[in-house]
Amino acid sequence: QVQLVESGGGLVQPGGSLRLSCVTSGVVFRAYTMGWFRQAPGEQRELVARISTDGSTYYKSAAKHRFTISRDNAKNTVYLQMTSLGPEDTAVYYCNAASAHFDYWGQGTQVIVSS
């Protein structure tokens, strides 16, 4: 059974930081491209950052220079370090594991940026 379990969300003040984690099980983690997506109320789900099996990364333009995605293949975990958070970052953040043939999602973790 494949599981992706996100954690680390919460309420943070503008300008603050959070680190999201996603622990996976039931997949060969190192064989999957891992991504963080987010969905704000009334909006479509969007890609925030992605890290490939070789460690190469991609960021949504709004996330560049503020967010850092990383992976630890030994722990089957992907991280999203977020800094300089603003109200526009408020959303449910989802972890995604993708390969050529499979696509898995976590349940999401809520991030609220508010004073």
pLDDT above 70 covers a percentage of the chain that reads 100
For residue 17, the cross-strand partners are none
- Coil/strand/helix, residue 30: helix
pLDDT (mean) for 78-100 = 97
pLDDT of residue 59: 97
Task: Return the pLDDT at 39.
Answer: 98
What is the per-residue pLDDT for 20? 98
C-alpha span between 23 and 6 (Å, rounded): 7
Quote the pLDDT of residue 89: 97
Please give the Cα distance from 74 to 85 (Å, whole number).
29
